[in-house]
Chains A and B, each alone.
Chain A
């Protein structure tokens, strides 16, 4: 079972993605809030969902007006599921509950022709609604189609009589002269009101009992309304950020030109653009190395984001995607160490790793480790990460590690490197900086190539650190000393 903590959702940009969705109905909002990930065993269901989302996304232009109308109706729906369950369980619904069930059914009734229109252009699989008319007939027996809820006099002969008497008494009361007369009328009125109340309660009980056999169908429709809501939201998300239908594989994971919506939006605010990343992973450990500031973590988080989006039934933010279904997705990121645990950063990292590894070994998993063991001395750290990498090659999981440490890449099954500053002449940037006087970090970030390339054969970590020192014009004496020992 995939279970992702809120901090993790935030780190990889999943929370951001979810916050761009606007669930309309309480049922749809609940689906977004309690995001559900399909398991490998639910592959067929996931494929249906992905198909539906693609259908909705492909016809989004053509159906914009219909979606808007559907969303307005969904927005007006209230969560009536508890009231329906109460009817099903034989309890007596009160006036307000009957009003809300009626309102919900009326909205559903208006929704059906719109859903019909949508289905003509973009038929969805396994999403149908029951006809709300039989239930509506119970709540609106005179077929007034009014928005309000009122128990009409015509419900029972008794009610008609009681209400007539009540009205007569009120008229008499209005015209009564003496206090004694008024008191007498008031007393009789109180009795009549009690009779009306008990008759209405009987009618409400009866309405509840007649709704009970329809309860399951109404609950299913609420679920379907929530699904439709979520599908439309997912489709709009795909339209905004470019979604592709993934091909589901039995093991390998291949993402071509994948995107991270949060970073896309952030960068476009700064007038820059996100560089799409491509990566192919398979069982065993893959290592990403690269310069500081090069976007190793971004690449890894974008993999996690897209895997989770797909398993929640979203189209994938990439040009092309071939993806397996994971039993579990586990992440070990730098700033998630529990400070309260009392252990040092390194200690708590090992505790968390142990826990995550146990889970990863329970089924086909995606295991992400960002700069593991960074908190210890580089010699020991390198040895530890090399050993972990070797071990991860053997488990039934796709593991992805980012690291600075030497010789780790050789231990993995595959090695990716950030292109970074590979093709940049440090001297040129140093000169550019000297002239413009701009913020050095910014300039370097601008020249950084965030793309990944696959390294074949043996290779060490890139030596971009020295280049960065040069570009930022570190004291020449120090640079000299570095170069001597390089």
Chain B
């Protein structure tokens, strides 16, 4: 895939969240690549879920690339982070959103330069910041997202997801691929066109009555497996708030698919691409060609090697 094609792919959505399966998956490399390649043609609004963008990874101690933004970019970050960057600042909005590192401030970079991100950690606040970006003239908002399971919630705040994964996730390549596939599968669950009745008095009762149900909390194996065994779950629909609420084993997901049960979510987002880093921060690495080939065969979206293609 050429750079131009990838850029086009990523510009299809108005708001994007970059999420990682693990540390050192290449999240920041991806973000910098994006800023360098798309930030000059449009106004990007940039923030993060919580603190990110430190120059050494606090968990593994490896050197991490800082975030380098082009002039014109809008940045939402905590007040204490402002002096750690070196862009020329124009302060635009004080949001009143508190973080442990001070209030979240929205500024415009009046020069190129490094920034440190520490945005809001609550979904509603992220949405609010995103909205303000567009009010201030942004054409696309990018959220430097969370890690691990939490990042499944990213689709609450963005309509496109860039998923970063890599050898740091697990020593077994099989496991990395399996979980990445599963992640994509959950992330790409279709959006529910209509909301079925809420299962307030138990899933079983609701399904018997309506044949479909909205589950406001988590959807777990212990809820689904007995209903699969009893034969009650056949056809119909299960709707959850967002993919992070689905705590089902891949095996259970397969069974639901066989029984033609539609699993849907309230909000919709889609995976735009998967980036992989074949080198682990913990010392091991995968054969990059094998790893990328296998990943490409397993997921439906473009797969990019952060170490080579984005360098």
List residues of chain A with CB under 8 Å of any chain B CB: 78, 94-96, 98-100, 147-150, 163, 166-167, 170, 173-174, 190, 193, 196-197
Contact = CB atoms under 8 A, between A and B. Distances in A.
A173 B86 CA distance: 15
A94 B79 CA distance: 10
B260 interface: no
Contact of B110 (A99, A100, A150): A150
B90 A149 contact: yes
B202 to A, nearest CB: 38
B91 A148 contact: yes
A459 B79 CA distance: 72
A196 B108 CA distance: 17
Contact of B92 (A148, A190, A197): A148
A74 B108 CA distance: 26
Contacts of A94: 82-83
Given A96-B94, A100-B94, A166 B89 contact: no
A174 B71 CA distance: 12
A174 B37 CA distance: 11
Nearest to A162: B88
Contact of A163 (B79, B86, B111): B111
A150 B90 contact: yes
Contacts of B88: 150, 163, 166, 196
A148 B86 contact: no
Contacts of B86: 190, 193, 196-197
B112 interface: yes
Given A148-B108, A193-B86, A197-B86, A96 B113 contact: no
B111 A95 contact: no
16 contacts: A94-B82, A94-B83, A95-B91, A96-B91, A96-B94, A96-B105, A99-B91, A147-B92, A148-B91, A148-B107, A163-B111, A166-B88, A170-B71, A173-B112, A193-B113, A197-B86
A154 to B, nearest CB: 13
A149 B105 CA distance: 12
Nearest to B86: A193
Nearest to B87: A193
- What are the nearest 10 A-B pairs in CB distance? A150-B90, A99-B91, A193-B86, A170-B112, A148-B92, A149-B91, A148-B90, A95-B91, A95-B89, A96-B79
A106 B107 CA distance: 19
Contacts of B92: 147-148
A99 B111 CA distance: 18
B90 A96 contact: no
Contacts of A170: 71, 111-113
A71 to B, nearest CB: 18
Nearest to B110: A150
